[in-house]
Structure 1
Amino acid sequence: MNLSNGKTLAASGQNRNGTSGSWEDAGRVVKPSTPTRKPQPPKPENAVTIAVSSRVLFNMEREQQIYEQQGMEKYLKYQVEHESEPFSPGPAFSFVKALEAVNTRLRELYPQSEELFDVVLVTNNHAYVGLRLINTINHHHLFIERFCMTGGNSPIGYLKAYHTNLYLSADSAKVREALEEGIAAATMFTQEKMKEVSESQLRVAFDGDAVLFSDESERIFKAHGLDRFFEHEKTHENKPLDHGPLKGFLEALGKLQRKFFDKGLRMDCPIRTYLVTARSAASSGAPKGPMLEKIRPHIFYDDQMFHVEGAAEFGTVACHVPYGIAQKVAMK
């Protein structure tokens, strides 16, 4: 939706509560007008950049309904009237808080290093909504210093400028566009229940085929059945699978993990990654929700909505990666 006449906006200043925030476009940062005690964000080329849309970081379901049912003017009027009312947390909120917890540990170990997570809030909202977003970020004590308002335009160019390692959005079309451009991306959904997760240890779970790896094996299974799938697996058992859309993000996590390993903190590393997949006759098609309930990841990525919905039923925040043969079959 285009909320700003197709223009990319940049704004800066204090809100009515005296706290501050800033907007920026892909090439220019507008700093807050008041001093801040927060550490400066790292340069994008040095950071692991996570771009999140406002609709996944915060719960904006009511506002979205107003826009869709009553139109732009009612939507803007509602946002201005509720400017000092913070949004409640959305599905990406706990994930972002966990990123900040890891950053705190990294800064303790490597005070001068810029190899940190950097969260960028990407929104196509109108500038009038900006103050409410800044108020909400300050209310929840989030360390987000970079905002990108695209004014309804595609975010892809801005994501590339930020060297984005992962893009999370409620808009599946934007996610598909990002994936087509080689940017790791996933669609997030607002769900009724979310399990409590660790506040000090980041836990990220991945499916295998069409997420970390290519969908080569899945194509064999879809076209020729389970017997040919196992025959193909045995024939190619010594040949690694090609990379999938989120492999780069996993590698970025691994790079930060090694910084803790190098300090002798392998067993106390605040980053944990998990592979939750099904690659046998006994487990093919088995629900992943019960296992994920035990792991309690902050976020889980899968290319099949069956597993995304199943995980959500158990309170796991699950993201859909619309990639590979499964998506072509689902869209027919």
Structure 2
Amino acid sequence: MPAQLTDKLVIAISSRALFDLAESHRIYEEEGLDAYQEYQIAHENEILAPGDAFPLVAKLLKLNERLGQDRVEVILLSRNSADTGLRIFNSIEHYGLNIVRAAFCGGQSPYRYIASFNCHLFLSTHIEDVTNALSSGFAAAMIMPSVKSADEPSDDTLRFAFDGDAVVFSDEAEQIYQAEGLEAFAASERASAKLPLSGGPFKPFLAALHKLQSELPAKQSPIRTALVTARSAPAHERVIRTLREWGIRLDESLFLGGLAKGPFLKSFGADVFFDDQVGHCDSAREHVATGHVPHGVTNTPKELKN
């Protein structure tokens, strides 16, 4: 019987999110594909430095060791060819990362393999690949460059933090805020407090994460989750009731009422934070690894909103 990934939490990641490929990418942009291929082959025995998502991946894979079973799978989805990708696999082996499955797409977008690998989440530095994945119904985020080096993790607990509207939830409430302002948004959310929000692109990933959490001892779980939203009272009630309706538990919920999210994410110790708004991402990436989710009304060009 063929191997199955249906019983695992599956994360797909691009080579540039996993490793620092800034120099080789510069060569690609300035000198073209042939020069890039020659460079990668010539340097294939030189180990790549970790990229912005490397600490997250290392922690994800370490989770399998803590659980004593393979419950998390990380898959490489790369625009490289297998030939130029040899340097990437050499680096994977050097760091002892248990990544054994990959798709090297020879310059084409790898997002089309997300479904085939049963991936719950796709992380990349390529905006087109991320938007294609989101349009196809998958949770995806563009890993943003960190402003400063991340602090060493204080423990092995894996901490995921999520924005609410347009990430975990749909952007239906955000549309009202953008079109009519804060007062109309608050009034609408108060009137709809008992009406669950629709799911956003990260609902299936959060559900898969919650399923894994539910199988682990609650008091000693190696995974913690947090909702970090700009909402405040009275708009908090609909969020709480929606998660209750979905049967999804979050360990922590922060309703910040417009405060900068970065310091709170640092206090939570997030290994990664996902948000649809670039401004919030800029605040977050000063402290933690951050994924921009280019989805919803705040990422729609103005000419298409009218």
Looking at structure 2, the residues matched to 84 and 331 of structure 1 have their Cα atoms a distance apart, in angstroms, of 48
| TM-superposition CA deviations, 1:128-186 (whole Å, max 9, x none) | 22221111001111000101111222323311111110000101111111111101101
Asked if the contact 1:195–1:296 (Cα under 8 Å) also holds between the matched residues in 2, the reply is no
Is the contact made by 2:81 and 2:105 (CA closer than 8 Å) also made in structure 1? Answer: no
Which one has a bigger Cα radius of gyration?
Answer: 1
Please, which of 204, 209, 232 is the counterpart of residue 280 of structure 1?
A: 232
The residue identity in structure 2 corresponding to 1:203 is R
Q: Does 1:292 align with 2:265?
A: yes
What one-letter code is carried by the residue in structure 1 that aligns with 2:178? K
Which aligned segments of 4 or more residues in structure 1 are displaced greater than 6 angstroms? none
Supply the distance in 2 between the matched residues of 1:287 and 1:63 (Cα, whole angstroms): 35
Q: Secondary structure of 1:120's partner?
A: strand
Q: Of residues 38, 45, 57 in structure 2, which corresponds to 1:84? A: 45
Quick check: 2:168–2:199 contact (8 Å CA) kept in 1? yes
Would you say 1:211 and 2:172 are equivalent positions?
no
Contact residue 228 and residue 256 of structure 2 kept, 8 A: no
Instruction: Give the 5 Å matches for 1:11-90.
Output: 43-90=4-51
- Alignment check: 8 A CA contact 1:197 1:297 kept: no
- Cα-to-partner distance string for 1:71-107 (whole Å, 9 max, x where unaligned): 2232222212211111111111111111112111222
1:14 matched residue in structure 2:
none
The match for 1:130 among 85, 104, 114 is 85
Match of residue 106 from structure 2: 151
Instruction: Give the letter aligned to residue 197 of structure 1.
Output: P
CA contact (8 A) 1:98 1:199 kept: no
220, 236, 243: which is aligned to 1:268? 220
Secondary structure of 2:300's counterpart equals helix
Pair 199,67 (structure 1): closer, same or farther in 2 beyond 3 Å: farther
CA RMSD after TM alignment: 1.9
Deviation at 1:195, TM superposition (A): 2.5
Q: Which runs of 5+ in 1 are unaligned?
A: 1-27, 29-41
Q: Residue 319 of structure 1 aligns with which residue?
A: 291
Residue 198 of structure 1 and its aligned partner are, at CA, apart by 4.3
Q: Percent identity?
A: 41
Letter in 2 for 1:214: S
Structure 2 residue runs without a partner (length 5+) = 234-254
- 1:174 alignment partner in structure 2: 129
Aligned CA distance change for structure 1 residues 164 and 53 (closer, same or farther; 3 Å): same
Equivalent in 130, 136, 157 of residue 201 of structure 1: 157
Q: If the length of structure 1 is used for normalisation, what is the TM-score?
A: 0.80
Q: What is the CA–CA distance in structure 1 between the aligned matches of 2:303 and 2:54, rounded to whole Å? A: 30
Contact 1:165/1:249 (<8 A) preserved? yes
* Pair 1:254-2:210 in alignment: yes
In structure 2, what residue type is equivalent to 1:91?
D
Q: Structure 1 residues 176 and 130 mapped into 2: Cα distance closer, same or farther (>3 Å)?
A: same
